[in-house]
Amino acid sequence: MMNQGMTDKTRDKTSIVNTIWGLFSSVRLAVILIAMIALLSIVGTLIEQGAEPEKNVILFKKIFGDALAPAAYRISESLGFMDMYSSWWFLALLALLATNLIICSLDRLPGIRRIVSKPMEPLKEDGFGHHGINKQFVCNGSLTDIRVKVVTALRQLGFHPSEFALERGVQYYAQKWQHARYAVYVIHLNIIVILVGAVVGIQFGFHGFMKIDEGQTTDTAISRKGEEHHLGFSIRCDDFNVQFYGDTDMPKTYLSFLTVLENGKEMLKTSIEVNRPMSYKGYTFYQASYGPLGEGSGVLVLRVTSKDGKSEVISKNVGDVLNIQGSALEAKIMAFSPALAFNKEEKAYTYTDMLNNPAIYVVFREGRTEKYGGWIFKRYPKSWNIPDGSKLELIDNWGYQYTGIQVRKDPGVWIVYLGCICMTLGLYFAFFLSHKKIWVLLVGDKGKVDIKIAASAHKNRGAFDTSIDKAFGPLRDQIGRDQPAANTKGG
């Protein structure tokens, strides 16, 4: 009775293990997991990860309306959708997919290994006609001559045939690319490598943001959780520049001119813009945003050109006075507007605090007499001309803006790159190489040779069939005549 009870328990455990194994070796499970991860990745793309709550609330308002947006945001936040790729359930899905791929591979690998390691053997004569590709024709000539031509055709196909002597003839047989059957396991392995690289990047990498004022230096980025992260070096924003499309307020490009500093020494000077980041010591810096620092900040950078063409660049503040070379005029900067426009009554006003259309109001005096005054725009060269033939150009309001930079460090990226490269090779072998077998039977009889061909390919059988026709075509066209035979057959 005791032995019977132990046997029943053992069977129950075996049954549970087999059930779990069967579940994880299922291709259907792999399809479901991949579909779920793909769908969640789309959601993660729509919802800005680690962003300020206001940004995603605006998105939810567009989708659910003003009434439901706050509740939808709270639910999404509680489920971890605001930082989805670091959530336990997303990592669990990746782990389940990796487990599924490993078990699928282990479950099917022994069978594939038997096929690959099985040595090629001659085919019995009654086995011809029962393979995926079958051909038969009769040639006039001696067996010796035909054998040479057949071996040549097989080598043209890339085979190195073995020979098996028969009483009335000979059989040639060969196979190639049998190891191409392992390609799918190379793909599985490298999917797992890519998943491992992604998890390494999520767990041990850094994704944050840094705001640098023009002319300022910082060595600290802020993580998505609001924690300070010290880079180990400093970044200085030397300048920031925005270019617009024509007369519109739509930014065409915006650039940050940065300097990397270590121990007070300049290590790297470069500029970054959207889709053209900077990399240094494993960190990558992406141009993400920009904005104004506030009223009263910044220094006006001007270019003064005299009537005889001599130019100089000077820096001034609102309220400062400057002299126009070669002229008795002096100019006083009365006001600055970051984005100047005029209403219907031709009254000037500032429509945003962004540097969309910067301008300065300048009054020109000769002695104590006010000669003229007006607005000088950065973006409109016609406004630079002074009536006496000189020019006053607004180049920049340096120090008025900050640049917003995304900072990423992904120690798993090289693992991902390695996995992608190796998986590409696996895909090439899987799609373009096939395990091919061929048998050619030659039977001589009274000056004629009966040729039977049997062949198989586990992929791209039609292309292999065409290649056989091309290789053996000269033999058939020159000295043979076709006999009725099935050209292809499933198997």
State pLDDT tens for residues 61-74: 888 888 888 888 88
Q: Where are the domains of the chain?
A: 2-114, 129-177+434-482, 202-293+402-423, 299-397
**Using alpha carbons only, what angle is made at residue 236 by residues 231 and 241, rounded to the nearest 5 degrees?**
130
How far is CA 447 from its chain centroid?
65
SS3 48: coil
The answer to whether residue 212 scores a pLDDT higher than 60 is: yes
**DSSP string covering 365-416:** EETTEEEEEEEEESS-GGGGB-TTS-EEEEEEEETSEEEEEEEEE-TTHHHH
Q: Which tokens hold the place of 252? A: 């065409």
Give strand ranges (E) for 11-155: 133-140
Instruction: Report d(CA 86, CA 207) in Å as an integer.
Output: 11
Using alpha carbons, list the distances in angstroms from residue 403 to 73, 86, 300, 339, 356. Answer: 28, 27, 18, 18, 15
Which carries the bigger pLDDT value, residue 8 or residue 200?
200
The answer to whether residue 5 scores a pLDDT higher than 60 is: no
Residue 269's pLDDT is 95
Per-residue pLDDT reduced to its tens digit, 380-424: 999 999 988 899 999 999 999 999 999 999 999 999 999 999 999
Residue 344: partners with Cβ closer than 8 Å, 6 or more residues away:
none
SS3 440: strand
Cβ(402)–Cβ(213) below 8 Å: yes
3-state helix, strand, coil in the chain (%, to 5): 40, 35, 25
SS3 343: coil
What percentage of the chain exceeds 70 in pLDDT?
93
Per-residue pLDDT reduced to its tens digit, 267-290: 999 999 988 999 999 999 999 889
Residue 73's pLDDT is 86
Residue 53's pLDDT is 77
Instruction: Report d(CA 181, CA 102) in Å as an integer.
Output: 17
The answer to whether residue 201 scores a pLDDT higher than 70 is: yes
Cite the DSSP H helix spans in 157-226.
183-204
The domain made up of 129-177+434-482 has a fold known as Double Stranded RNA Binding Domain (3.30.160)
Provide mean pLDDT across the span 438-466. Answer: 91
The answer to whether residue 484 scores a pLDDT higher than 50 is: no
Cβ(249)–Cβ(242) below 8 Å: no
Which carries the bigger pLDDT value, residue 258 or residue 79?
258
Mean of the per-residue pLDDT values of the chain:
87
Cβ(292)–Cβ(338) below 8 Å: yes
Provide mean pLDDT across the span 91-99. Answer: 90
Per-residue confidence band for 488, with pLDDT thresholds at 50, 70 and 90:
very low
Q: Which tokens hold the place of 52? A: 């300020």
The answer to whether residue 485 scores a pLDDT higher than 50 is: no
Angle (deg, nearest 10), helices 461-479 and 143-156: 150
SS3 26: coil
Taking alpha carbons only, the member of 482, 459, 458 closest to residue 469 is 482
Per-residue pLDDT reduced to its tens digit, 321-331: 998 888 888 99
Instruction: Report d(CA 92, CA 202) in Å as an integer.
Output: 13
Per-residue confidence band for 7, with pLDDT thresholds at 50, 70 and 90:
low
Instruction: Report d(CA 308, CA 327) in Å as an integer.
Output: 10
Instruction: Write b or e for each residue in 209-248: b if 16 or more Cβ atoms lie within 10 A of its Cβ, otherwise e.
Output: bbbbbbeeebeebeeeeeeebebeebbbbebbbeebeeee
Angle (deg, nearest 10), helices 27-46 and 88-117: 140
Which carries the bigger pLDDT value, residue 490 or residue 346?
346
Taking alpha carbons only, the member of 139, 140, 115, 180 closest to residue 440 is 139
Taking alpha carbons only, the member of 188, 190, 162, 194 closest to residue 175 is 162
Radius of gyration of the chain (CA): 38
Provide mean pLDDT across the span 213-236. Answer: 92
Which carries the bigger pLDDT value, residue 141 or residue 359?
359
Query: Kind and range of the H or E element at 23?
Result: helix 2-24
Q: Which tokens hold the place of 29? A: 């499970």
